[in-house]
Structure 1
Amino acid sequence: MTEKLKVGYIGLGIMGKAMARNILKAGFPLWVHNRSRGAVAELVAEGAVEAFSPREVAEQVDLVITNLPDSPDVEWVALGAEGILEGAHPGLIFVDHSTIKPA
């Protein structure tokens, strides 16, 4: 039997939280990170694992999904200190669902 893809979700606003919840409902192991703790606590109560930085998310998963409010947020989460790039490993997939201006 194959091991399920481990997924990380960063950005748990209205859309992000709903998408992360569907990933959990589909049975995928899920690590979550968000600036505010309310949405994190909800998803942890449903079975997600809290990560304390984007770097920690990247270190633990096969796929990182972000859903952030603005371009500087995406840049900070991906490239900043303790960002996704700091925890990236060979084979890590990064998908950004943020509704922002294209680069």
Structure 2
Amino acid sequence: MKLGFIGLGIMGTPMAINLARAGHQLHVTTIGPVADELLSLGAVSVETARQVTDASDIIFIMVPDTPQVEDVLFGENGCNQSLAEGQNHC
């Protein structure tokens, strides 16, 4: 399954690593560096939430607060720019 993960902090990185280890195709974006382990498992790092959305069937959002959630969903290059009918975000 093609999964997207936005936010790779203390909680997001281990969750994304487990998804990659389970064999899912994973596109990720975060404000900091992406863990080398995640990249070595085949995750693809992209620049924007919209790029994650374009490449994924399901999108996980793991950011710390409301302003960041709003930016990820509704900001410039946010998920809402390309969410398709039937596409899910968690």
Instruction: State the TM-score, normalizing by the size of structure 2.
Output: 0.93
How many residue pairs are counted as aligned between the two chains?
90
What is the 5 A alignment of 1:1-103? 5-39=1-35, 41-95=36-90
- Partners of 2:87 and 2:34 in 1: CA distance: 27
Which structure has the larger Rg? 1
Q: Over aligned residue pairs, what C-alpha RMSD do you find? A: 1.1
The alpha carbon displacement at 1:52 in A equals 1.1
Determine the C-alpha separation between the residues in 2 that align with 1:36 and 1:56: 17
Deviation digits for residues 49-75 of structure 1 (CA, Å, limit 9, x no counterpart):
111100000011100001101110000
- Which fold has the larger relative contact order, with Cα–Cα distance below 8 Å and residues 6 or more apart in sequence? 2
Unaligned segments of structure 1, at least 5 residues: 96-103
Deviations 1:76-101 (A, max 9, x none): 00110100111212221010xxxxxx
Supply the AA of the counterpart residue of 1:17. Answer: T
**Tell me, what secondary structure is at the counterpart of 1:14?**
coil
Structure 1 runs (4+) deviating above 4 angstroms are none
Aligned residues of 2:3 and 2:59 also touching (Cα < 8 A): yes
